[in-house]
Amino acid sequence: MKLNCSQSELNIALQLVSRAVSTRPTHPVLANVLLTADASTGKICLTGFDLSLGIQISLHASVEKSGAITLPAKLFGEIVSKLSNDSPLSLNLDENSQQVELISKSGSYQMRGMIADDFPDLPLVETGTALKLNSTFLSNAIKSTLFASSTDEAKQLLTGVNLTFNGQGVESAATDGHRLAVLNLNNILYDKNLEENNIESFENFSITLPSKSLREVEKFLSNFNSNEPVNLFVEKGQVVFIASDQVITIRTLDGSYPNYSQLIPETFSNIVEFDRKDLISSLERIAVLADQHNNVIKMSADNDSNIVKITTEAQDIGSGSESLSVTMNSESFQIAFNVRYLLEGLKVIDTNSIKLSCNSPTTPAIFSPSDTAFNFIYLVMPIQIRN
C-alpha cells in the first residue's frame, strides 16, 4: 500500500470512525481501524467496528499501490490530528513487517499495524430496498427519546431506543420503566413522494437499537449533509444507514419491545400549561436542594390563583419553594416527581409552552408541547407522597 492524501480529510474520517472503536476491546485488533486503499477507484476506506456498531468512511486519495492494514485507532488518530493541516501526507505500508510509515512536511512516523485479515467483516446488508430518511429528523428522533432509555445493562431491551415504521412515518420510543419518551415523525421520510421512497416495497418494522451505539450515530448524523437522504436498510439482527460515502451498521437488540402505547392515558382530568423556560429555571433551583435528599419535588396547582407551587424538603439541610403562574383548567391538585426526570424531558422539548396532563397523584402524567404539531409525549410516573 502506498498513497497520498490530505491531512484534514483523513483527520475528519479518523475521528468519525474512531467513535465505533471500543475503548475496552475484547480482541487486540478491535482497538484498530481498518485502512484499505484501492488504486483502481482512487479511494481509501476507513472502518471502525466494536462488533455492535460499525462506521465506515471512504475518501478520495492518490493511491499508487492498493493494500490493506489495521492501525491502532488512538495513536493513528492523535498523530494525524496534530499534523499541520496544510501538509499533504503520504502513507507507505511495508507488507513484510506490517509497518506503516506516515510522512508529513515536518517529520515521519512509523507505526506497527496488524494484518487486515484479522479484522472482522462489517455486516453490510445492502440487499432489498432502502427507506430514504431525512438525516436532521432522524437525528432529532434519536435525541428526543434516547435520554429516557435505561443505563442498567440488566434491563436489556430497555437499554435501547425502539424505532417502528408503520407504512407512513417512523415512531421513536425509549423507556427505563419510570418514564417514557415517544416521538412520532411523519415527516422523517426524505421525499414525500411515496414512490421515490420505495415505501410500498418496504415492510413495516419494529427494531430496538442500543442507546450506546445511537449516541455515536446522533453525533455522527450532525456531520451529514442534510440535503442528502440517509438510506436505511433493515435485516434480521442488523440495520445499516448509508449516506454518500459513509456507512453505519448497528446490531439490533433481540426481543419484542414492550407495548408502551397502552401506558398512555387517553383522558385527563387535570391540565396545566407552563412557560417551559420558567419551569426549567424553577426546577433547576429546586433541584439544588432536592438533589441533597431524594430528588423528590412536589407540585401544588391552585385553581383559584392559577399558581403552581413547587416545593422540596431536604431534611436537616433546608427546604425550597418556587411559584409559577400557569394557565389551568381543572380542580386544584398535588403531584410529586423525581426532579431529574422532569428536567431531562423538558430540555428536549423545544417549544415555548408546555402542558402537564394528569389524573391522580399515582397514575402516569404526561408532559407535551402545547403546540400539537410537535408529536412528542413524555410520560413520567409520579412519586407517591405522604402528607
Applying CB under 8 A, which residues contact a second copy? 72, 75, 78-79, 82-84, 99, 106-112, 281-282, 284-286, 288-289, 292, 310, 316-324
> Which residue's CB is nearer to a second copy, number 76 or number 257?
76
CA distance 286 to 299: 11
Taking the CB of residue 228, how many other CB atoms lie within 10 A of it? 14
Rank residues 15 and 201 by Cβ distance to a second copy and give the closer one: 15
Q: Which is nearer to a second copy, 163 or 289 (CB)?
A: 289
Contacts of 191 (CB under 8 A, 6+ apart): 132, 197, 229
Cell numbers for 245, please give them.
460515502
**Are 265 and 359 in contact, with CB atoms under 8 Å apart?**
yes
Q: What is the closest distance, in whole angstroms, from the C-beta atom of residue 305 to a second copy in the complex?
A: 15
Contact present, 169 and 182 (Cβ < 8 Å): no
Q: Are 173 and 216 in contact (CB under 8 A)?
A: no
CA angle in degrees (0–180, nearest 5) for 113-114-115: 125
Q: Which is nearer to a second copy, 206 or 292 (CB)?
A: 292
State which residue, 89 or 122, has the beta carbon closest to a second copy. 89
Tell me how far, at minimum, the Cβ of 322 lies from a second copy, in Å.
Answer: 4
- Taking CA atoms, 299 is separated from 226, 296, 335, in Å, by 41, 10, 5
Smallest distance from the beta carbon of 328 to a second copy, in angstroms?
18
CB of 332 to a second copy, least distance (A): 19
At closest approach, how far in Å is the CB of 303 from a second copy?
A: 20
Looking at beta carbons only, is 101 or 191 nearer to a second copy?
101
Pick the closer one to a second copy by CB: 173 or 290.
290
- The helix (H) or strand (E) run that includes residue 206 is strand 205-210
Q: Which letter, b or e, does each residue of 345-370 get, where b requires 16 or more Cβ atoms within 10 Å of its Cβ?
A: bbebbeeeebbbbbbebeebbbbbbb
Q: Which one-letter DSSP state was computed for residue 130?
A: P
Which of residues 108 and 360 has its CB atom nearest to a second copy in the complex? 108
**Closer residue to a second copy in complex, CB, 209/308:** 308
Buried b (16+ CB within 10 A) or exposed e, 21-38: bbeeeeeebbbbbbbbbb
C-beta separation of 176 from 149 below 8 A: yes
Cell representation of residue 275? 412557560
Q: How many other CB atoms are found less than 10 A from the CB of residue 254?
A: 10
Shortest reach from residue 292's CB to a second copy, in Å: 7
Kindly state the DSSP code that residue 189 receives in the 8-state scheme. Answer: B
Nearer to a second copy, 116 or 247 (CB): 116
CB 316 → a second copy: shortest distance, Å? 6
Question: How far apart are CB 72 and a second copy at their closest, in Å?
Answer: 7
CB of 321 vs a second copy, minimal distance in Å:
5
Do 20 and 13 meet the contact criterion of CB atoms below 8 Å apart?
Answer: no
**Shortest Cβ 310–a second copy spacing (Å):** 8
Helix (H) or strand (E) holding 136: helix 135-146
